[in-house]
Amino acid sequence: MYIVGKFMGVKEELGKKIKRMRINRGLTQEQLSEAVDISQRTLSGIEIGENFVTAETLDRLVKALNTTTEELFATNHLKEKEDIISEIQSDLVIISQNPEKLDVLYNVTKSLMKE
């Protein structure tokens, strides 16, 4: 993963994943930092890649985010929302040419909308 021409390190990738998981779970920085027993400033530093988590904080984050360490460290697939949407739109053009795949995609999207 790259940020403005430089390689994104482990701290940045992990911080980005923590932030994304926090937001997806509807938590504010204040709520998560309280649940993990760290300051909001420390959590902010973790999320932007300035600070790295201790083993103890990592364990508490895993519990507070209701996740696993494996999922938390699986950051190589992170993409920006705009990039994801662009890829989906490109894929849709191709999929629309295949009636069978289009039918499958339709069923998947309908299923996702029920959640």
Report which secondary-structure segment, H or E, holds 6: strand 6-7
Sign of CA dihedral 60, 68, 77, 1: positive
Which tokens in the block code for residue 33? 């930092």
**Nearest CA among 84, 57, 82, 73 for reference residue 12:** 73
CB contact at 8 A, 102 and 95:
yes
pLDDT of 43 reads 97
- Classify domain 2-73 at the CATH topology level: 434 Repressor (Amino-terminal Domain) (1.10.260)
pLDDT score of 76? 54
Q: What pLDDT does residue 4 have?
A: 42
pLDDT tens-digit series, residues 38-83: 999 999 999 999 999 999 999 999 999 999 988 888 755 666 778 8
- When pLDDT is cut at 50, 70 and 90, the band that residue 6 belongs to is very low
Mean pLDDT is highest, among 31-35, 85-89, 106-110, for 31-35
Residue 8 reports pLDDT greater than 70: no
Interatomic CA distance for residues 95 and 98, integer angstroms: 5
What separation in angstroms does the CA of 41 have from each of 12, 26, 46, 53? 16, 19, 9, 13
